[in-house]
């Protein structure tokens, strides 16, 4: 078994920053906490795009250039810096801008899943998009109908949003890591597994990366 791409550790660290920032924000309801929470999410998305943006989704200009994918993905870094500055100046629109990032993410995931033959991968992709959709429904319902839910004694949708979006984000990261190995790392094989292995794949998904088995020559 070989080691994963080192950049994935950046994503895991940023996810921990998101968790800590979110806890701080909800404990203090301060502007600083809001900015830390929302901008940490922005940088998780930017880092994921930088690592795993698929070559098949590149604009034609970049796709036809040697090293075009790397140069295109590097644009996400200054883009994230600009959005960080704008988000600091206008924090009221941060949440809506972050939700818009779900559109290209889902689009790329669907694009990757269409030619996939492994039923386990397709099943996890469908589950991930379902979780993301349910999370967005909870966020919108809580954001715009909070008083109604409080009046009926059900003020839990925001908590449900956090749980669902965490599960959707984790599964999406696992899937994009799988596709990155499959499409951009020749000589390696990616396999989706679960811990623990249970009927219905209800465990925690992860990717195992191994070298391709040597091809055996044919007798002439």
Q: How far apart are the first and last CA of the chain?
A: 33
CA–CA gap between residue 99 and residue 136 (Å, rounded): 8
What is the reported pLDDT for 4? 59
pLDDT given for residue 3 in this prediction: 59
Total residue count of the chain as it appears in this document: 220
The C-alpha atoms of residue 201 and residue 156 are separated, in whole angstroms, by 27
pLDDT at 117: 92
Peptide bond into 196 cis (omega under 30): yes
Q: What is the pLDDT of residue 2?
A: 56
Sites in the chain below the pLDDT cut of 50 = 217-220
Query: How many CB atoms are located within 10 Å of the residue 57 CB?
Result: 14
- In the numeric block, which tokens belong to residue 31? 């502007």
Q: Summarize pLDDT for 139-189 with one digit per residue, the tens.
A: 999 988 988 988 888 888 989 999 999 999 999 999 999 999 998 888 889
* Among candidate residues 7, 54, 74, 52, the one with its CA nearest the CA of residue 177: 52
Nearest in space to 25 (alpha carbons), one of 37, 14, 15? 37
Q: Report the share of the chain in percent with pLDDT over 90.
A: 48
pTM given for the model: 0.88
């Amino acid at each position: 078994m070989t080691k994963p791409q080192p950049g994935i550790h950046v994503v895991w660290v940023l996810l921990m920053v998101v968790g800590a920032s979110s806890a701080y924000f909800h404990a203090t309801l301060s502007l600083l906490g809001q900015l830390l929470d929302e901008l940490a999410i922005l940088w998780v998305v930017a880092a994921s795009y930088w690592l795993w943006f698929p070559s098949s989704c590149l604009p034609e200009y970049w796709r036809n250039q040697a090293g075009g994918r790397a140069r295109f993905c590097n644009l996400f870094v200054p883009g994230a810096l600009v959005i960080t500055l704008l988000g600091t100046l206008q924090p009221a629109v941060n949440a809506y801008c972050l939700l818009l990032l779900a559109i290209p993410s889902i689009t790329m995931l669907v694009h990757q899943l269409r030619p996939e033959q492994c039923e386990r991968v397709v099943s996890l992709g469908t589950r991930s998009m379902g979780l993301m959709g349910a999370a967005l429904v909870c966020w919108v319902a809580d954001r715009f109908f909070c008083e109604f839910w409080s009046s009926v004694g059900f003020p839990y949708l925001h908590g449900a949003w956090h749980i669902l979006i965490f599960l959707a984000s984790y599964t999406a990261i696992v899937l994009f890591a799988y596709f990155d190995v499959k499409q951009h790392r020749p000589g390696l094989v990616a396999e989706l597994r679960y811990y623990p292995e249970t009927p219905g794949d209800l465990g925690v998904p992860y990717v195992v990366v191994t070298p391709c088995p040597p091809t055996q020559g044919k007798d002439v």
